[in-house]
Amino acid sequence: MTKLPYLPETPSQTAGPYVHIGLTPNALGNAGIYPQDLGISPIRDGAKGERITIRGTVTDGAGMILRDALIETWQADAEGLYPAPNEARGQADPNVTGWARVIADFDSGQWTLNTIKPGSVPHTSGGTMAPHISLWVVARGVNIGLQTRIYFEDELAANKKCPILARIEHKDRMRTLLAKKTGNGEYWFEVKLQGEDETIFFDL
Amino acid sequence: MADAPVRGPLVARDRLWHPPAYAPGYKTSVTRAPSRALVAAPSTLSEETGPAFGQDMLGELDNNLILNFTGQPAIGERIIMHGRVQDDQGRPVPGALLEIWQANAGGRYRHKKDGYAAPLDPNFGGCGRTVTNAEGRYEFLTIRPGAYPWPNGPNDWRPMHIHISVFGSGFGQRLITQMYFEGDPLIARCPIVNTIKDGSAIEQLVAPLDMSAAIPMDCLAYRFDITLRGRRQTFFENRPEGL
Ligand SMILES: [Fe+2]
């Protein structure tokens, strides 16, 4: 057998139904191990930008709402800068951590993200990506974490020019990536794992 | 952070190496697998960047699952789980956040939805976390988890396993997997293990017994190295862009 010129990535396995034990023990009720869970908020007091709340659910192909899903979110600050050590364009807002973990409510399955609306981010090969929040969705029955993005239905002009949205061949599916505005600073976003109106998932 | 930040586009995932979303032997995947093709494109800044994790955010016992719940020792066979996080070129990944969770020695999880007959261990919480050092290395002290039955086929059992979440330098490298133990006869029978089609990929998840790291008269050790998605080029901060 010839040796591969690279090491293969460690293969994924499902997060299973008990992911909260490891990633959000305090939210589960297993207090006492860590003072607080990681990723409790993507922003701190004083974060610049428009405060928004996004609520939503994760549903399966039978239309059932998942109560064991965990979503991680990653976003830029209001200027479009990532609060990351490898962000080369400048220093992001110190009150934006950019990263959060949100879990489906154990009873209703609804999740809530309180954050700021991110700015546009340049695309490496030209163009500008419309304001978006990257999502990584794991749950029992999900064998490898699913990548998707929240875009905003009220960013029409920016969305039209986004090189990632332009990749989508079936234009009627694009709406599955748009958070619906339900009020002042309030949005609704459903992740549909399968079936009619299945959310667009990426391989980026 | 002492280490220069790593940049550059992420290498595309080999989707045939990973388990497919739809794997009917694992019944829950049937209604939770997307049926449409993924929209593939080269990574962007949104996948190439990620938050910083430092040793300073860790508590002293965070990687010691034997003691980190009550301070009194958990019941079970004492083991070290250790290894190295590396990229596809074998370079160490420092500053990676590793979080693990597992059942107790009887195969029971501390979770409101686990009603298995084996009792909870009052001194076992079942989670730990650490951040890799400059050489990409990590270590946990824990107990060997028990196997447990689960509703899927008529008599399916999970092999002994430790769930592990890995966060490297980019959000697009995000990975959750499970570590199995060398020699466990339940591995080959497990529908979740067998969602992975390639036998060599499964082998990557089976940690060998590592007597060189075992502590005499104290604990055994298992070695679990983790490889993350690589990057096509590496730029260092002290070099001008594009060099
Ligand atoms: Fe498990």
> Are the C-beta atoms of A104 and A60 separated by less than 8 Å?
no
Report which of A130, A167, A175 is spatially closest to residue B41, judged by C-alpha positions.
Answer: A167
Q: Name A98's Cβ contacts closer than 8 Å, sequence gap at least 6.
A: A42, A74, A75, A76, A77, A82, A83, A84, A92, B51
d(CA A121, CA B158): 43
Q: Which domain holds residue B61?
A: 29-227
The pLDDT value recorded for residue B1 is 42
Mean of per-residue pLDDT scores for chain A:
96
Per-domain boundaries in chain A:
19-26+37-192
Report which of B55, B52, B106 is spatially closest to residue B77, judged by C-alpha positions.
Answer: B106
Count of domains for chain B: 1
Q: Name B204's Cβ contacts closer than 8 Å, sequence gap at least 6.
A: A8, A10, A11, B227
CATH of domain A19-26+37-192: 2.60.130.10
Q: Can you list the alpha helix ranges (DSSP code H) found in chain B?
A: 29-32, 45-48, 199-203
> B181-204 in b/e burial notation, b at 16+ Cβ within 10 A?
beebebbeebbbbebbeeeebbeb
> Are the C-beta atoms of B2 and A164 separated by less than 8 Å?
no
B129 in any annotated domain:
yes
Q: Which amino acid is at A64?
A: M
Q: In the annotation, is B109 catalytic?
A: yes
How close does chain B come to A160, measured CA to CA in Å? 17
- 3-state SS track over B42-107: CCCHHHHCCCCCCHHHCCCCCCECCCCCCCCCCCCCEEEEEEEEECCCCCECCCCEEEEECCCCCC
Q: In the annotation, is B78 catalytic?
A: no
Q: In the annotation, is B161 catalytic?
A: yes
Give the total residue count for chain A.
204
B16 in any annotated domain:
no
Residue A195 in tokens = 């079936």
Ranges of chain B whose pLDDT falls below 70: 1-4, 234-243
Q: Name B203's Cβ contacts closer than 8 Å, sequence gap at least 6.
A: none
pTM beyond 0.90: the answer is: yes
B236 in any annotated domain:
no
Burial class (CB in 10 A: 0-12, 13-18, 19+), B96: buried
- Under the phi-then-psi rule, with left for phi > 0, alpha for psi from -120 to 50, and beta for the rest, what region is A163? alpha
Catalytic residue from among B82, B108, B144, B161 = B161
Judge whether A82 is closer than 8 Å to chain B, CB to CB.
Answer: yes
Residue A111 in tokens = 């999740």
B18 in any annotated domain:
no
The pLDDT value recorded for residue B3 is 56
Chain B's closest residue to A76, CA to CA, is: B46
Tokens 């990409």 -> residue: B136
B164 in any annotated domain:
yes
Ranges of chain A whose pLDDT falls below 50: none
Judge whether B73 is closer than 8 Å to chain A, CB to CB.
Answer: no
Q: Cβ atoms within 10 A of the Cβ of B135, count?
A: 12
In the three-class reduction of DSSP (H, G, I as helix; E, B as strand; rest coil), residue B183 is classed as coil
The pLDDT value recorded for residue A2 is 59
B11 in any annotated domain:
no
Phi (first) and psi of residue B242, to 5 degrees:
85, -5
In this prediction the ipTM stands at 0.97
> Are the C-beta atoms of A193 and A61 separated by less than 8 Å?
yes
Catalytic residue from among B7, B110, B163, B174 = B163
- Residues 30-49 in A contacting B (C-alpha not used; CB under 8 Å): 30, 32-35, 38
Phi (first) and psi of residue B129, to 5 degrees:
-150, 155
Distance B163 CA to ligand 1 centre (A): 6
B9 in any annotated domain:
no
> Are the C-beta atoms of B128 and B142 separated by less than 8 Å?
yes
The H or E element spanning position A27 is: helix A25-28
> Is A14 within 8 Å of B226 when comparing Cβ atoms?
no
Q: Which amino acid is at B137?
A: R
How close does chain B come to A185, measured CA to CA in Å? 23
Contacts of B34 in chain A (CB under 8 A): 146, 193-194, 198-199, 201
Judge whether B188 is closer than 8 Å to chain A, CB to CB.
Answer: no
> Is B51 within 8 Å of A12 when comparing Cβ atoms?
no
d(CA B133, CA B97): 10
B35 in any annotated domain:
yes
Judge whether B93 is closer than 8 Å to chain A, CB to CB.
Answer: no
Q: Name B2's Cβ contacts closer than 8 Å, sequence gap at least 6.
A: B134
> Is B35 within 8 Å of A138 when comparing Cβ atoms?
no
**Residue B110 belongs to a domain with what CATH number?**
2.60.130.10
The 10s digit of each residue's pLDDT in A29-55 is: 999 999 999 999 999 999 999 999 999
Judge whether B217 is closer than 8 Å to chain A, CB to CB.
Answer: no
In the three-class reduction of DSSP (H, G, I as helix; E, B as strand; rest coil), residue A163 is classed as coil
Residue B235 in tokens = 């730029």
